[in-house]
């Protein structure tokens, strides 16, 4: 099924959407959601007859806003069409990223969701300088992913795994059928990995990117000895955020 074009429509997250659609009659929705209503009316200045995409983590719909909605000013009302279940982007792409400063990690998560990363693994390495923020940090990351999904219209959020050590990661990813990579300026041509992905050699790819300060020599050696190939993104040294943008963008473009 060809994915419909939503490029010129607003897309808004509605966490109760699946339940609402299941209970709907004659493809009509009428429900209260104060925050969503305020965004539509007061922030986006939407009008009767406009079509907006609503999505949750399972599906998306297109809903035409009803004139009655603008009289009542309490409920979101309209007829909907195009109920579509989300289809994951292939291949599965895991980003194992050294835990950076909180603001940087938020930006990395935004990029990862925007570009279709399947899973994010916060990685504990020698140069990590802070502790993981637990449930509170995960909630902020979820809010960031909502914003990224609304902007990019990639409606499948990455899962956020629990932090793990580099050694644990190496043990969990030992299948030679999984593309495994990390990045340093003296690595092999990144084009080699992109060619393999384009040829659909892998059903899954995992990339390792260090925190601020990068990976130590010992960590690089540990990755190389256990099947992770070293590639060059650029001949220069990138920040973690930039490395994520270049690596994930290129991988998704080559698939």
Helix pair 102-114, 134-152: axis angle to 10 deg: 40
pLDDT tens-place string over residues 151-203: 999 999 999 999 999 999 999 999 989 999 999 999 999 999 999 999 999 99
- Residue 74: predicted pLDDT: 81
97: left (phi over 0), alpha (psi -120 to 50) or beta: beta
- Residue 1: predicted pLDDT: 37
Q: Please give the structure tokens belonging to residue 230.
A: 């070293």
Q: Cα–Cα distance between 197 and 179 in angstroms, integer?
A: 8
> What CATH number was assigned to the domain covering residues 92-254?
3.40.1280.10
Domain range summary for the chain, segments of one domain joined by + = 11-85, 92-254
Place of tokens 């009542």: 72
- The matching CATH number, chosen from 2.60.40.10, 3.40.190.10, 3.30.70.20, 2.40.240.20, for 11-85 is 2.40.240.20
Sign of CA dihedral 218, 191, 238, 101: negative
CA neighbor of 171 nearest in space, from 227, 229, 117: 227
Residues of the chain with pLDDT under 50: 1-4
Q: Cα–Cα distance between 145 and 245 in angstroms, integer?
A: 15
- Residue 180: predicted pLDDT: 98
């Amino acid at each position: 099924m060809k994915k419909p074009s939503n490029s010129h429509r607003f897309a808004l997250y509605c966490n109760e959407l699946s339940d609402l659609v299941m209970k709907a009659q004659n493809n009509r929705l009428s429900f209260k959601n104060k925050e969503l209503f305020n965004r539509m009316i007061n922030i986006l200045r939407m009008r009767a007859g406009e079509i907006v995409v609503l999505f949750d983590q399972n599906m998306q719909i297109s809903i035409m806003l009803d004139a009655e909605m603008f009289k009542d000013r309490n409920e979101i009302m309209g007829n909907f069409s195009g109920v579509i279940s989300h289809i994951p982007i292939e291949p599965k792409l895991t980003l194992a990223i050294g835990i950076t400063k909180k603001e940087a990690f938020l930006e990395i998560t935004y990029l990862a969701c925007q570009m279709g990363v399947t899973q994010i693994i916060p990685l504990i390495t020698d140069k990590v300088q802070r502790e993981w923020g637990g449930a509170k940090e995960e909630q902020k990351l979820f809010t960031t992913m909502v914003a990224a999904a609304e902007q990019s219209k990639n409606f499948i959020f990455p899962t956020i795994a629990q932090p793990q050590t580099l050694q644990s990661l190496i043990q969990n990813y030992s299948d030679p059928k999984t593309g495994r990579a990390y990045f340093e300026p003296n690595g092999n041509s990144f084009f080699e990995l992109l060619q393999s992905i384009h040829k659909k050699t892998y059903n899954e790819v995992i990339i390792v990117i260090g925190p601020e300060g990068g990976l130590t020599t010992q960590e690089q050696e540990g990755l190389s000895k256990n099947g992770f190939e070293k590639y060059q993104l650029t001949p220069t040294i990138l920040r973690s955020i930039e490395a994520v943008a270049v690596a994930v963008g290129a991988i998704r473009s080559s698939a």
